[in-house]
Structure 1
Amino acid sequence: MAVLTAAALGVVGFLGYQAAATAPDHPTQARPGSHSAESKKKDKGDAGAKKKSTALPARSGTGVRVVYALGEKRVWLVGADGKAGRTFEVGPSPASPAPGTYSVTSRNKGGVGSDGVQVEHVVVFHSEGGVVFGFSAAVDGSMPDPNARKRTGAVRESRADGTAMWEFAQLDTKVVVVP
């Protein structure tokens, strides 16, 4: 009887862990690569789910550049041929830069972000009103809380995307922010 009780508790614990990790009301706690029911609908192309476009936005500049679309929460790394070599979703913080053209002003291999999280591959492109805007990857894989009270300008990427940004966006690389 004790063996059956232990087995039942193990199954219940495992199912509880799975439910907590993918609960839609805890998006910041979801593990990288885990999918909520809503994102699975989008992946399958359900009629009710709107699929995000990965096409480079119109009027996003020319030449080598990073394009950051605020509304789409997406970045494109655009080469000299005008084509995006890579695009990926990002997690913005509560503050966003105004649409416009900026350039990479500094880079830092690692440190602590303005939200207190250990980050790597920091690429800064703008500063305004005490808020520093830049791309980075959290070492623990977390994304910033868009509803946080502290105004930070972190634009978080996955670690793989952060590495790609680090390799692409050198000092003075153009960064175009679109709505």
Structure 2
Amino acid sequence: MPARLPSWAWVTGLTTGAIAAVAVLAVQADQGPKPTASTSRPSAASATADAKPSAEPEEKETGTETEAESEAVPADSGTGRRIVYSLDDRQVWLVDASDAPRRSFEVWPGTVAPDPGTYAIGTRTEATTGSDGVAVEHIMYFAAKSGVSIAFSNAVDGSSPPPPDGRTTGGIRVAKEDGEALWTFGTPGTTVRVVG
């Protein structure tokens, strides 16, 4: 009758075999193809307004020209996963952890603008009525100035009217599909970098 191996020998053998298999797979994965950033622009037909980040910049129609939504992120906007808001360009970029812009879009600011600096998404409200009387959704507060709360939002009906004359507003309005993408990306605590 052959000698029986003790259970610790079986466990040691199986563990060693599993570690060896993982090491072989890791080496094979390291030698495989690596993902690279594409510099080509997708066709307008393949562009979507999906709230999920895609591997390539999206495009949007502006008049008769098509332009990449993910234009260069401002150089002084920090690093890492963040929302970048340019006061001068009236533009927002959603930037992933690898510093790649995943989406960029135009915004319509209120009458009170945040000072350049670093902020974070705080309170989020799904829907309310803005101080201008417009029904808004996807409200994400990130700053306050002169007693006015400053937040990103989109009009429920998709409109982007200018604030009424004489009314003080801190709402930064975005298009409806951009509001959905911003809401998905801008979880509480997400960095908001405001640049001039």
Output the TM-score relative to the length of structure 2.
Answer: 0.64
1:101: Cα distance to partner?
0.5
- Counterpart of 1:93 in structure 2 is 110
Q: Which structure 1 segments of 5+ residues have no match?
A: 1-34, 46-51
Q: Which structure 2 segments of 5+ residues have no match?
A: 1-60
Q: State the aligned residue count.
A: 135
SS at match of 2:166: coil
1:55: Cα distance to partner?
1.2
1:40: Cα distance to partner?
3.6
1:136 to 145, 149, 153: 153
1:110: Cα distance to partner?
0.6
- Counterpart of 1:122 in structure 2 is 139
Aligned-partner Cα distance in 2 for 1:83–1:150: 37
- For residues 55 and 129 of structure 1, do their structure 2 counterparts lie closer, same or farther at Cα, with a shift above 3 Å needed? same
Which structure is higher in helix share? 1
Counterpart residue identity of residue 164, structure 1: A
| Structure 1 outlier segments of 4+, above 4 Å | none
Please tell me whether Structure 1 or Structure 2 has the larger radius of gyration of its CA atoms: 2
Cα pair 2:163 2:169 within 8 Å, conserved: no
Cα pair 1:94 1:147 within 8 Å, conserved: no
Aligned-partner Cα distance in 2 for 1:129–1:114: 15
- Counterpart of 1:10 in structure 2 is none
SS at match of 2:131: coil
2:80 to 60, 63, 83: 63
- Counterpart of 2:175 in structure 1 is 158
Question: Deviation per CA, 1:57-92, whole angstroms, max 9, x where unpaired?
Answer: 011011110000011110000111111111010111
1:103 to 96, 120, 136: 120
Aligned-partner Cα distance in 1 for 2:127–2:164: 24
- Counterpart of 1:170 in structure 2 is 187
RMSD between superposed Cα atoms in Å: 2.2
1:136: Cα distance to partner?
0.3
1:148: Cα distance to partner?
2.7
Aligned-partner Cα distance in 2 for 1:44–1:125: 31
